[in-house]
Amino acid sequence: MKEKIHPKYFPNAKVVCACGNSFTTGSTQQVLKVEVCSKCHPFFTGEQRIVDTAGRVERFKRKYKIQ
């Protein structure tokens, strides 16, 4: 097996969500920034909410003229 080809592993990497929630996990990056986590994702919260990424919902509505 080749040596020195694997990235450094951080067992206590910090994950920060846009909603303000943070937790630790293992990763090859020390800090991870995410937009949606289990505290704010509609599947886990039970809310009927559309998670819009880069205006995709508006483009879809314009394309099909949905009001």
Q: Is a pLDDT exceeding 90 seen at residue 9?
A: yes
Instruction: Tell me the range of 3-7, 9-13, 18-22, 54-58 where mean pLDDT is highest.
Output: 9-13
- The pLDDT value given to residue 22: 94
What is the amino acid identity at position 65? K
- The pLDDT value given to residue 49: 61
2 lies in some domain = no
DSSP track, 4-30:
S-SPPPEEEEEEEETTS-EEEEEESSS
Number of domain units in the chain: 1
pTM for the model stands at: 0.59
Domain enclosing residue 57, as ranges = 10-64
**CATH code at 28?**
4.10.80.400
- The pLDDT value given to residue 52: 61
